[in-house]
Amino acid sequence: LDFLKSHVDGYERIIDDLKKMEEKELLEKTGIDKNELEEFVDILIKNRHHTIFNIGFGIQKERYGGRIIQTVALIQIFLGNIGKPGTGIIYTQSGFNKHLEKPIFKFVTKSQSNKKSEKISLIKLGSELISRKIRVVFIYNFNPMTSLPNLNILKKALKDQDLFVILHELFLTETAKYADLVIPAKFDVETNDIFVPYCFPSLSINQGGPCPYPDCLSNYEFFKLLSQKLQLKKNEKHDISEAEFFSRCLDLLPRNVR
């Protein structure tokens, strides 16, 4: 209890809540075998200061994802495994890749925009579209009608006759049902891309294969065409193919990574 007394406020309440729980009922609800649970607990106790829980982002998408993550964290807290080397919790390791990403981001993005753009809250997209009387919204790499809260408000906003909804999409998603214009997108396997995982200190690449439909566009191809149509300031990136652009990005990686 020394760790809890020194570093944790209100741990007594958690202990009281645990005492009120019925073990038999919990085992029945979760379908966990009692012997297997006890074996797992014994392993934790035996290696109490040599355990790392790699949680990742997937579990938070469960119905009670927030509670699950809190519970996993509490196990390590009660074992005293916070703030010590070789133990604890890993939620994401994407920070390990920053030194690899930085030169690519610098090459891909402009250092300064022509003018500062006003930002809106993505979580409040529906209410923002309504309150700001926005007339055009362009959506890509995103399916807000299945992933944002307050969907009734978002649905109301997207159904507004005064709002023109443009979507760059591959499938007939819930969001696509409210789009005035859908620009066909390519499959991931048909595009060149670099992937930065959340939970592993590494990079992976995808070398795109052929797409049988000429009207389908990757993100790069779409924004390249859009910039040309809008006659934006000339940029060397507008004149090269996606394959060449991809190759230049890879050249920015350290030799040992390539």
pLDDT digits (tens, 9 = 90+) for 28-54: 998 999 999 999 999 999 998 999 998
In this predicted structure, what is the pLDDT of residue 181? 98
Among 183, 199, 225, where does a domain finish?
183
Residue 54 backbone dihedrals phi, psi, to 5 degrees: -95, 100
pLDDT digits (tens, 9 = 90+) for 131-185: 999 999 999 999 999 999 999 999 999 999 999 999 999 999 999 999 999 999 9
Confidence of residue 192 (pLDDT cuts 50, 70, 90): very high
Q: Is the same domain home to 73 and 105? A: no
Q: Is the same domain home to 109 and 145? A: no
In this predicted structure, what is the pLDDT of residue 2? 85
Q: Is the same domain home to 15 and 131? A: no
Q: Is the same domain home to 43 and 7? A: yes
Domain residues for the domain of 215 are 92-115+186-258
Confidence of residue 118 (pLDDT cuts 50, 70, 90): confident
Q: Is the same domain home to 176 and 204? A: no
Q: Is the same domain home to 104 and 190? A: yes
Domain count of the fold of the chain: 3
**Average pLDDT of the residues of the chain:** 89
Contacts 24+ apart (CB under 8 A), 1-5: 2/80, 3/80, 3/82, 4/77, 4/78, 4/80
